[in-house]
């Protein structure tokens, strides 16, 4: 007992020492912007009255908008600026509405070539759209890591056939690139940094996230399935060829959000998901855990949804590169971080909680091959299995840990994601 207190004290002091890095709050970006009610009203009107098949052009320049833009019910529409670095829309002085740009009920819409920043809610939201391309965009909040920043830089939800590429997302207080309850998702060549979650795929079906960089977030990439949402049982995600680097940022999310449970220093989390393939990723310098595969119960959040499956199954983790050059102690601000730091005695490349749907287990407690967690060809990794299904109470949560990778030496061939290359 005494030894634990001693170690805890050392770790806490060390953590405080390393984490007294100071706030990154700064004045919002307001210089060089023009406000013209005439420009605003013209753009607003264009968005409302645009004909199907037309293009709404945003000129080069930095424009302040006080009212949100919205596009609804259009077909084959493009809204484009002169380039993410050249056309900037700032909603810093927004007086009403939940978004910067809200796009609803559109079929075949292209959004490209401009920056949206400092909306009071989410910068860009798409709801119930089919066939979407979002490219060469930047979406951010400019006053630093503030929990009053909007939730999502990009918020496509309940959509179909989404392509996001060459997009940058930063300083979101929930997730930078968030895709929710959407079918057929491709997110590629995107850069998510300084968000709580860099990229989050939640309750989606058929997703590919590849060639992206998630850096300096609290957690790099999240593949979540959560209860209480109309689209159940998110599944079939491929996360490959991404860089998850130094995701050690403070968690500035709101306490009620799912991402508030993510410990700083997290590369990738797979939560309650049926079928995901994580491969060829470079997962470097995340101080707490490289990849974790966990059931919903471990978040400590209650749920009341009879259609929800809280366990992961059919997860394949292979051919990833880890580098954990210990740059600081694992996170101590979140339960999962404390578990890693104290219970598991430090950073791990891969943590599984060993849980599985009890309905799947045979009478020896084994999970059929098709549903297993498979971990192969990741080099010589630091690994821990919490064997959570053996845990009886909080006090013995680390009493069943083992480091035996042989139970996970398998592979899944058939996870196709969104079939992108």
Partner 1 sequence: MSGSSAVTVDTNYKEPFKKLSQYHFFKGDIKQLTPNDRVLPYDLITPLFSDYALKARFVWMPEGTAAKYVKDEVLDFPVGTVLIKNFYFPADFRDLSKGKKIIETRLLIHKPDKWDALTYVWNADQTDADLNIIGDTKSIDWIDKNGNKVHDEYSVPNKNQCKTCHAYNGTLSPIGPKVRNMNHDYSYTDGNANELDRWAAAGYLTGYNKADNIDNKMAKWDDSTTGDINARARAYIDVNCAHCHRKEGMANPTGLYLNFTNQNEASLGILKTPEAAGSGAGNFLYDVIPGKPDESIMPYRMTIDEPGKMMPQIGRKLVHTEGVALIKQWIAGMEQSSTNNKK
**Which of 48/327 has CB closer to partner 1?**
48
Residue 324 CB, shortest distance to partner 1, in Å, is 32
The closest of 390, 383, 385, 336 to 358, measured between CA atoms, is 390
Side-chain-side CA neighbours of residue 396 (13 Å): 9
Residue 128 CB, shortest distance to partner 1, in Å, is 6
**Which of 151/331 has CB closer to partner 1?**
151
Q: What gap in Å lies between CA 343 and CA 346, rounded to an integer?
A: 8
**Which of 41/366 has CB closer to partner 1?**
41
**Which of 104/280 has CB closer to partner 1?**
104
**Which of 127/245 has CB closer to partner 1?**
127
Residue 189 CB, shortest distance to partner 1, in Å, is 26
**Which of 32/230 has CB closer to partner 1?**
230
Q: What gap in Å lies between CA 268 and CA 349, rounded to an integer?
A: 10
Residue 29 CB, shortest distance to partner 1, in Å, is 18
Residue 186 CB, shortest distance to partner 1, in Å, is 20
Number of helices (H) and strands (E) in the chain: give both, helices first.
3, 31
Q: What gap in Å lies between CA 160 and CA 144, rounded to an integer?
A: 32
Residue 102 CB, shortest distance to partner 1, in Å, is 8
Residue 403 CB, shortest distance to partner 1, in Å, is 27
Q: What gap in Å lies between CA 397 and CA 343, rounded to an integer?
A: 8
Residue 296 CB, shortest distance to partner 1, in Å, is 10
Phi-psi group of 83: left, alpha or beta (phi > 0 → left; psi -120 to 50 → alpha; rest → beta): left
Residue 354: CB atoms within 10 A of its CB come to 22
Phi-psi group of 22: left, alpha or beta (phi > 0 → left; psi -120 to 50 → alpha; rest → beta): left
**Which of 32/358 has CB closer to partner 1?**
358
Strand partners of residue 104: 72, 127
SS3 content of the chain, % helix, strand, coil (to 5): 15, 40, 50
Residue 79 · residue 56 · CB < 8 Å: yes
**Which of 98/379 has CB closer to partner 1?**
98
Residue 86 is classified by DSSP as T
State how far Cα 381 lies from the chain centre: 24
Q: What gap in Å lies between CA 407 and CA 108, rounded to an integer?
A: 46
Residue 305 CB, shortest distance to partner 1, in Å, is 7
Site of tokens 């953590």: 15
Q: Which residues bind partner 1 (CB under 8 A)?
A: 41, 44-45, 47-49, 67, 70-73, 94-99, 102, 104-105, 119-122, 127-128, 147-152, 155, 157-158, 173-174, 180-181, 228-230, 254-258, 297, 300-305
Side-chain-side CA neighbours of residue 127 (13 Å): 9
402's enclosing H/E stretch is none
**Which of 63/284 has CB closer to partner 1?**
63
Q: Rounded to 5 degrees, what angle do the CA atoms 24, 281, 203 make?
A: 80
The closest of 276, 149, 262 to 207, measured between CA atoms, is 276
Residue 113 CB, shortest distance to partner 1, in Å, is 22
The closest of 128, 130, 94 to 110, measured between CA atoms, is 130
**Which of 255/413 has CB closer to partner 1?**
255
**Which of 159/291 has CB closer to partner 1?**
159
421-to-350, 377, 405 alpha-carbon distances in Å: 26, 22, 30
Residue 300 CB, shortest distance to partner 1, in Å, is 7
């Amino acid at each position: 007992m005494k030894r634990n207190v001693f170690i805890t004290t050392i770790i806490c002091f060390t953590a405080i020492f390393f984490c007294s890095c100071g706030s990154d709050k700064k004045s919002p970006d307001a210089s060089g912007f023009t406000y013209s009610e005439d420009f605003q009203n013209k753009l607003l009107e264009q968005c409302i009255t645009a004909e199907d098949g037309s293009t709404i052009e945003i000129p080069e320049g930095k424009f302040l908008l006080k009212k949100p833009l919205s596009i609804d019910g259009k077909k084959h529409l493009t809204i484009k600026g002169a380039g993410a670095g050249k056309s900037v829309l700032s909603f810093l002085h927004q007086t009403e509405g939940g978004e910067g740009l809200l796009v609803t009920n559109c079929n075949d819409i292209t959004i490209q070539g401009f920056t949206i920043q400092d909306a009071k809610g989410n910068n860009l939201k798409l709801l119930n759209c089919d066939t979407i391309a979002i490219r060469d965009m930047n979406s951010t909040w400019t006053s630093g890591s503030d929990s009053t920043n909007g939730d999502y830089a990009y918020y496509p939800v309940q959509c179909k056939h989404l392509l996001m590429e060459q997009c940058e997302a930063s300083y979101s207080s929930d997730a930078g690139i968030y895709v929710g309850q959407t079918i057929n998702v491709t997110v590629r060549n995107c850069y998510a940094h300084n968000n709580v979650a860099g990229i989050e795929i939640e309750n989606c079906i058929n997703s590919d996230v590849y060639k992206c960089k998630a850096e300096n977030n609290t957690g790099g990439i999240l593949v979540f399935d959560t209860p209480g949402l109309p689209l159940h049982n998110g599944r079939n995600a491929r996360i490959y060829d991404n860089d998850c680097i130094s995701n050690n940022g403070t968690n500035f999310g709101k306490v009620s959000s799912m991402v508030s449970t993510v410990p700083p220093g997290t590369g990738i989390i797979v939560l309650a998901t049926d079928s995901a393939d994580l491969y060829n990723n470079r997962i470097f310098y995340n101080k707490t855990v490289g990849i974790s595969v966990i059931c919903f119960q471990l978040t400590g959040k209650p749920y009341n949804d009879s259609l929800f499956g809280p366990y992961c199954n059919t997860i394949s983790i292979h051919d990833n590169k880890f580098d954990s050059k210990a740059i600081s102690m694992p996170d101590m601000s979140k339960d999962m971080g404390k578990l890693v730091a104290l219970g598991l005695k430090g950073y791990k490349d891969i943590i599984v909680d060993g849980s599985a749907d009890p309905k799947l287990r045979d009478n020896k407690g084994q999970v059929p091959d098709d549903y297993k967690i498979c971990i192969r060809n990741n080099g010589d990794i630091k690994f821990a299995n919490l064997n959570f299904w053996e845990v009886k109470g909080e006090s013995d949560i680390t009493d069943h840990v083992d480091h035996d990778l042989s139970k996970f030496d398998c592979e899944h061939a058939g996870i196709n994601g969104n079939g992108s290359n």
